[in-house]
A and B are shown apart, each in its own frame.
Chain A
Amino acid sequence: MKTLARQEWYGAMVAVLVLGILLSFASPYFLNTRNLSNILVQASVIALLAGGQTFVILTGGVDLAVGSLTALSGAVAGYMMVKLGIDPYMAILAAFAIGAAVGIFNGYLVAFVGIPSFIVTLGGLTLWRGLAFDATGGFDMSGLPDPFPFIGYGDLFGFLPMPIVIMATFYIVMSFVLSSTKLGRYVYAIGSNEMGARQVGINIRWYKLGVYVVSGLCCALAAIVLIGRMDSSSGKIAQMFELDAIAAVILGGTSLFGGRGSIIGSLLGAILITMIRNGMNLLEISQFKQMMAIGAVVIIAVWIDVIRRQRLLRK
């Protein structure tokens, strides 16, 4: 077994602990159950997006469209429920169908046509956002039917906030998929050595398509949690969430070059980003400075990744 210090997510765990200790000294409000629970609830949407993003990044790709796709899934589901009066479970199904369809679209262009994922999803960033507004007429849809209030605010067994329950369940499942299924193994193999993976007979095109579908489905799940928490939906939701999701994955120790990383790291990364935001709010640091801080953290995380990669290659 790899020792703890050599796990990719070790750095993220240390960062969460150190930042936690610093913040509990800096602010009297940080270290109480409600604030900690709040951090996890706030981290949930980013964590769900980061989970799918991890699969994509491990293959050596990137999905820049997750924020926009979350908006598309969420806006359409909201529109169906509020404006059209469609059954909420049908709307949830529709959200997942949209996530899967866009995933297939992205995956097809990346894996079968050969367009770099960066370009496909950069186009998608504005394409799906535009479609989200266009398809819903730009309306704000508020007052969502059951089970959305429960998904957003409900507590399981009276004390476990649903977003945390969903996030935890999701990470247990994804962690298993990544470590113990063919898909998970091939995700690493493709990210390590795509040519080699093809030579040993892995159908890399279908597996690459698969990771974009996973990411698309994660967007749909994130959208459901997000609109539940906001009790409303529109094309405006989840702006810039792709940045937080990618940052969470990179902060979690997953390499942007593919092949190396873990799903648990992405969860820690999502928590870390939320903690940074939460801490700066508690310390009354302005929104502008927060934007700068998050951007700087992302660059530093990638910087560390590049140095780490060069060390490994020198071996």
Chain B
Amino acid sequence: MRTPILKIRGLTKHYGGVKALTEANFSLAPGEHAAIVGDNGAGKSTFVRLITGAEQPNHGEISLDGEVVNFSSPLDARDQGVETVYQTLALAEDLDVPANIFLGREIVRFNLGPLSILNHKAMREESVSMLATTGVKIQDMSETLRGMSGGQRQCVAIARAAGFAKKLIILDEPTAALGIQETARVEEIIKGLKQRGVPLIIISHNLRQVFDLVDRIWVFRQGRIIASVLTATSNPEQIVGLITGAIDPEKLPGATDAIKDIALFH
């Protein structure tokens, strides 16, 4: 078996008496697309905050590409190759597309601290190629984002993440605020990332979308990861059953194998 791009063992976060996440095991193979599902308060957000460095776990181990890592902040996680697209997108609506793609990591001609001189041409060219690789079509690169639809903005944010991600991309509810056509556009982009072998974790409430897009689903329930199933051998009814507790994962063949494997072998 190849080294997982991301492997998590015993990840735990308790806030006083509140057990937000307990002993979570998770793994993502190179090129794999995985979904995180679960009811509100099941621990998804805590899990994502821990693996993106927004918070630090009480205990547990995160390995990135075979190396144990400790993310001190989201920027630290980003520097180590984990790109996250938040629901809020972190885009500046009044800046154009290249400015947004390179926001916070501009290419400069001369490094003079805050007065560093920007290399507009290089950033523009890189942006064009990043958008092309990700399959995002933007008519006018010098247009500010304010004039663009929610779907286009989401695509710009994903292209930015895909362009810079050295290890994996995390998408937090990428289509929650989008209409049907725009959702389809974003899903196409995600499928393109799959073909290019970019590892990806998606948090989504939309099971139709999850089955359409990913290889494996990790089910969260009451602060634990209770099941990990391949979409190829499962169906949405099973997942709903696991999320709500109607189905006991121990009685579903294979549903807890991946989780137990991680606990046993390291």
Q: Which A residues have a C-beta under 8 Å from some C-beta of B?
A: 1-2, 177, 180-183, 185-186, 188-189, 191-193, 195-197, 199-202, 206-207, 210, 259-260, 312, 315
Contact = CB atoms under 8 A, between A and B. Distances in A.
B142 A2 contact: yes
A199 B86 contact: yes
Interface in B95-117: 95, 99, 103-106, 108, 112-117
A189 B93 CA distance: 8
Given A177-B115, A182-B118, A315-B146, A188 B94 contact: yes
A271 to B, nearest CB: 25
A195 B147 CA distance: 20
B90 A199 contact: yes
Contact of B106 (A177, A182, A193, A197): A182
A182 B116 contact: yes
A201 B78 contact: yes
B94 A315 contact: no
Nearest to B109: A180
B75 interface: yes
Contacts of B106: 182, 185
B71 to A, nearest CB: 13
B92 A189 contact: yes
Contacts of A207: 114
A193 B92 contact: yes
A185 B114 contact: no
A315 B147 contact: yes
B146 A181 contact: no
B181 interface: no
Contacts of B94: 188, 191-192, 259-260
B120 interface: yes
B104 to A, nearest CB: 3
Nearest to B110: A181
A188 B95 contact: yes
Nearest to B116: A182
Contacts of A210: 114
A301 B95 CA distance: 23
Contact of B88 (A1, A2, A191, A195): A195
B104 A201 contact: yes
Contact of B92 (A1, A2, A192): A192
Interface in B136-166: 142, 146-147
Contacts of A193: 90-93
A192 B95 CA distance: 8
11 contacts: A180-B118, A182-B106, A182-B118, A188-B92, A188-B94, A189-B99, A191-B94, A192-B93, A196-B88, A199-B86, A201-B104
A185 B95 contact: yes
B142 A199 contact: no
Contacts of B258: none
A185 B142 CA distance: 14
A172 B98 CA distance: 24
A58 to B, nearest CB: 9
A202 B90 CA distance: 11
A233 B80 CA distance: 57
A196 B114 contact: no
Contact of B118 (A181, A189, A312, A315): A181
Nearest to B148: A315
Contact of A202 (B104, B115, B117, B146): B104
A183 B91 CA distance: 17
B103 A200 contact: yes
B31 interface: no
B139 to A, nearest CB: 14
A197 B103 contact: yes
Nearest to B91: A196
Given A188-B95, A202-B103, A182 B115 contact: yes
A1 B96 CA distance: 11
B37 to A, nearest CB: 24
A234 to B, nearest CB: 35
Contacts of B93: 192-193, 259
A210 B113 CA distance: 12
B263 interface: no
